[in-house]
Amino acid sequence: MNRNGERYGRALVIGGGIAGPVVGMALQRVGIESTVFEASPVPSDGVGSFLTVASNGLDALQAIDAHRAVAAAGIRTERMILSSGTGKFLGIVDAGIPLTDGTTTTTIERARLYRALHDQALERGVPIVHGKRLVDLEQTPRGVVARFEDGTEQRGGFLVGADGIWSATRRLLDPAAPRPEYTGLIGMGGEAIGVDVDPDPATFQMMFGTRAFFGFIASGPRRVLWFANLPVRQEPDREALASVSPAEWKERLLETFANDAAPARDLIAATDASSFRLGASHTLEPPHSWHHGRSVLVGDAAHATSPSSGQGASLAIEDAVELARCLRDAPDLGTGFETYQALRERRVRRVLRASRRVNSNKAAGPFARRIRDAVMPLMLSWMASPARQLWLLGHHIDFTGAVGGPQTLLAAA
């Protein structure tokens, strides 16, 4: 154990989704041992639809030499082409900024991302323990005690809450912390098989439909991943969503896009309804403090942007890498946590604001749609400038550099 390990002790990482394994690997890079505790009794293979790991998220993974497996498991995504429900071309936006080795933004099924990160963490000797749902937390000046639903407990030097938007860690640290807010959108996704649609390689096609938003990208020969965002004013609970059969959801989607340009209906029709993934979309405002005592929050446990931003996974990965870097250079745990929040909060809030603007466009009414479709080409032309995207997609964490040094951008790194 090196100096950092001796100072801080073993980290207890709560949550084994995306952020947790990255926290474990990043801490290991700075000499801090950890154990990841996941509530699910079994690995989450096959859970979830798909998402985007943007170039800034992959750059953060590159800092701990963990990006190649993720890129290899996903779909290279270089650009987004946007259109209206009538088929009108609205514009093209770059989806990423290539890394030094040419890797760029990657669209990936959540199960594949989960497996790529978990396998790397385990190969590097980061333990991941399943069936450990956090129910209580005790903090002392010298360490923490995590207590789990199965009656067991674990002691450590500090705790990292990486347990997602419905974080138990966040509630235990601050019962008054912000709660997830419904965006007004229901997300659905699937994979169409045997379709004749031939999308441009490395291109995500997106459509502002008459009644809902639709996007798709080729995942292989005659295979296409797609998603839809349906505006629903009142938030449905999980029981209400589950009460609708897959066949009924399929019919609803086909009817929703009945008056829109192809290929939305073709892709939905070519998808096995039993494989649909759906859920209400939420965001989470960061709490006043991301840390308390010897515990700290990362990723969706601290802040959550809607899937519309394409940045949820990437921000969580950035958090994990930046936290490890701050703890490496800080004189003590508290200073490390404070520095970490100071470095992350402004950027996170900016992404949240941008995400809200996208959500409002997806849920536009008839009059707002006409205005949106008229001004969108001008907006996209302005946004498509590489300089306009650099703050988001070009964010670079100089992992080997000292905290407090100049921040760099990926394009100039």
Under 8 Å between Cβ of 293 and 139: yes
Kindly tell me the sign of the dihedral angle through the C-alpha atoms of 95, 97, 99, 102.
positive
Instruction: Assign 413 a pLDDT band (cuts: 50, 70, 90).
Output: very low
Under 8 Å between Cβ of 16 and 128: yes
What is the phi-psi region of residue 400: left when phi exceeds 0, alpha when psi lies from -120 to 50, beta otherwise? alpha
**CB-based burial, 98-117: b 16+ in 10 Å, e otherwise:** bbeeebbbbbbbbbbbbbbb
Find the angle CA(43)-CA(26)-CA(145) to the nearest 5 degrees.
Answer: 70
Tokens found for residue 17: 């989704």
Instruction: Tell me the average pLDDT of the chain.
Output: 90
CA dist 185 and 175 (Å) reads 26
CA dist 89 and 313 (Å) reads 29
Nearest Cα to Cα of residue 92 among 319, 297, 385: 385
> Between these two residues, 399 and 374, which has the higher pLDDT value?
399
Q: What structural domains does the chain harbor?
A: 3-75+110-180+284-363 (3.50.50.60), 181-282 (3.30.9.30)
Nearest Cα to Cα of residue 317 among 303, 331, 298: 298
Quick: pLDDT tens for 34-65.
999 999 988 766 556 899 999 999 999 999 99
Under 8 Å between Cβ of 89 and 261: no
> Between these two residues, 46 and 268, which has the higher pLDDT value?
268
8, containing H or E segment: helix 3-8
Mean pLDDT of 362-379: 60
Residue 4 above 90 pLDDT? no
Quick: pLDDT tens for 291-319.
999 999 999 999 999 887 889 999 999 99
Tokens found for residue 88: 């009108």
CA dist 404 and 7 (Å) reads 21
Quick: pLDDT tens for 8-20.
999 999 999 999 9
Chain position carrying tokens 């594949």: 112
Instruction: Assign 157 a pLDDT band (cuts: 50, 70, 90).
Output: very high
pTM, 2 dp: 0.92
Percent of the chain past pLDDT 90, that is, above it, reads 71
